[in-house]
Amino acid sequence: MSITEKRFLLLAVFCLEIVFLTVTNLAQDFEAKITLAPGASTTVQIEGKILKQKIVGSNKSWSFMRSFPGVENLGERIESLNLSNAKGERVAFRSLVPGEYLAEEQAENYLYQANLKTPNPAAMAHVSWIRDEQGILMLGDLLPQFTAANNQPISAKITFQLPVDWKIISREKKSGNGEFFVSDVEKAIFLIGKNWREKEISVDKNNLNFAISGEWKFSDDEAFQMAGEIFAEYKKQLGDIPFENARINLIHFPSEISFDRWEAETRGANVTILSSDMPFKTLSLQRLHEQLRHEIFHLWLPNSLALTGNYAWFYEGFTVYQSLRTALEMNQIRFEDFLRTLEQAQFIDSRRIRRTSLIEASKNRWNDSSSTVYARGMLIAFLCDLALLKNSKGKRSVADLFRQILKLYPISNKAVDGNTSVLSVLDGYAELRPIVEKYVSAAEKINWQTELESTGIESRESGSVLKLQVKTKLQNQEKNLLEKLGYNNWRKSLGKSK
């Protein structure tokens, strides 16, 4: 089975990054005890108390997450809410819409059930669910949405009371048996239930904790080793992440979901991948590599950055590109595969109906433009890489941009606007200005002839179809550029293995 057959899977990914900023505060804002509801297998009962009345929303209005990009009607999962005041007296309330409640007086204690039956596959990497004695609990959609007056993250003491043979797996701080101190409720993720296999992978001073479920064509050890190698490769490219430990959760989609589908999200330092398997082991391993390359990269961009707003054209588009570039670097794909993927991205970009700038497309990412931010964003990353390599005689590449952005906007800083910040960094390079002007801020058609000049790559276009290939006669400078891009990696590795 040829590698090229999977070349375009990466653009089909619906991957979601949410930028949350961490500030640790020591005393908890509220507490919650999570148990399985009596006699139920997919419903949890949550009982708790507000500890600090300064949190807004604890007053009279109680709300739960009602939707998530691509997932609607989450409020309908909340059932049997009970509120009481400090004296333990019942507080009456009205339900405005499912998941939104208005109490008649200030309440302090709460009790409710959340029905976590399996959502549609598209939602399974993004919201809580329990199925067949296994589940993922994401506190952001499970607990009432409190906000601190100063917009600080909300902290909580979370206690679980689950069947004795169930595991509770999380990167949150354990403070007792089944008890955790969560510094930021929105980011916290817990795996619960049976049949999780785990491994702690050390990479330098970081720990990567990997949990896996379901049967795959690859072995657990192959997956663990792969994750460690990819993490180490990005550390080499980009430097340290601000998290001491990160988690990877690889969960098999329910069996009725067909081959070749996956959903993923990287929330804070938690990577969650829901996936079906592939028909052959080689394909299965290649796809896992692709999933891990994309998601692990997000631990750096955007999750290590104090940048906000809709700038997915950069952190998705450039992630897809750098992940592909890393595949070349790690000898996972050949240079031809690299070029075929770019051709495919150009095809997607040329077929889009609404011609808006990438900045605009990022704002409407959840409407019609989700493939645009990936496909066109990736092409722009490629053009930037070429321009940087060309102008610096191979000394600078997009990895330098990433390092610069990570250094300028670390997560410990106060958050600033992502678009403004990234564009100001790109503006620092004269060779990138025309690319940004024409293809990011405006929606011009990419002029491949011009952009590929002196790169050693030539293009042919007919209609929506672009063909890219390495020139047969190369100047020294072009050879050098292609070498930096990874042109000869595959050949070199073949040489070595002989």
* Residues forming the site for Zn ion (CB under 5 A): 15, 316
User: Looking at beta carbons only, is 108 or 316 nearer to Zn ion?
Assistant: 316
User: Looking at beta carbons only, is 15 or 446 nearer to Zn ion?
Assistant: 15
Q: In angstroms, give the least distance from the CB of 17 to Zn ion.
A: 5
Q: In angstroms, give the least distance from the CB of 437 to Zn ion.
A: 26
What does the alpha-carbon distance between residue 317 and residue 422 come to, in Å, rounded to a whole number? Answer: 13
Q: In angstroms, give the least distance from the CB of 240 to Zn ion.
A: 21
Q: In angstroms, give the least distance from the CB of 401 to Zn ion.
A: 17
User: Looking at beta carbons only, is 70 or 394 nearer to Zn ion?
Assistant: 70
User: Looking at beta carbons only, is 316 or 337 nearer to Zn ion?
Assistant: 316
What does the alpha-carbon distance between residue 293 and residue 238 come to, in Å, rounded to a whole number? Answer: 14
- Is there a contact between 56 and 81 (Cβ–Cβ < 8 Å)? no
Q: In angstroms, give the least distance from the CB of 375 to Zn ion.
A: 13
Sorted by sequence, the CB contacts under 8 Å of residue 119 that are 6+ apart come out as 71, 127, 129
Hey, what are 350's tokens? 């040329």
User: Looking at beta carbons only, is 316 or 478 nearer to Zn ion?
Assistant: 316
Strand pairing category for 61-63 and 270-275: unpaired
Residue indicated by tokens 């080689």: 282
Q: Return the C-alpha torsion angle 21, 25, 31, 37, nearest 10.
A: 30
Residue nearest to Zn ion (CB): 15
Sorted by sequence, the CB contacts under 8 Å of residue 82 that are 6+ apart come out as 90, 110, 111, 112
Cis peptide before 153 (omega within 30 of 0): no
Q: In angstroms, give the least distance from the CB of 125 to Zn ion.
A: 11
Does residue 223 sit in helix, strand or coil?
Answer: helix
User: Looking at beta carbons only, is 273 or 426 nearer to Zn ion?
Assistant: 273
Q: In angstroms, give the least distance from the CB of 271 to Zn ion.
A: 10
User: Looking at beta carbons only, is 15 or 299 nearer to Zn ion?
Assistant: 15
Q: In angstroms, give the least distance from the CB of 281 to Zn ion.
A: 25
Q: In angstroms, give the least distance from the CB of 298 to Zn ion.
A: 6
Residue indicated by tokens 């100063």: 150
User: Looking at beta carbons only, is 15 or 127 nearer to Zn ion?
Assistant: 15
Strand pairing category for 129-131 and 134-138: antiparallel
- Is there a contact between 22 and 411 (Cβ–Cβ < 8 Å)? yes
Q: In angstroms, give the least distance from the CB of 390 to Zn ion.
A: 28
User: Looking at beta carbons only, is 418 or 456 nearer to Zn ion?
Assistant: 418
Other beta carbons within 10 Å of 493: 11
User: Looking at beta carbons only, is 18 or 111 nearer to Zn ion?
Assistant: 18
Q: In angstroms, give the least distance from the CB of 382 to Zn ion.
A: 17
Sorted by sequence, the CB contacts under 8 Å of residue 279 that are 6+ apart come out as 259
Question: How many Å separate Cα 440 from the centre of its chain?
Answer: 22
Q: Which of 355, 296, 27, 19 is nearest to 175 (CA)?
A: 27
Q: SS in 3 state form for 272-323?
A: EEEECCCCCHHHHHHHHHHHHHHHHHCCCCCCCECEECCCHHHHCHHHHHHH
CA-atom Rg of the chain in angstroms: 24
Helices (H), strands (E): how many in the chain?
14, 27
Q: How many CA atoms lie within 13 A of 381 on its CB side?
A: 28
User: Looking at beta carbons only, is 273 or 436 nearer to Zn ion?
Assistant: 273
Does residue 220 sit in helix, strand or coil?
Answer: helix
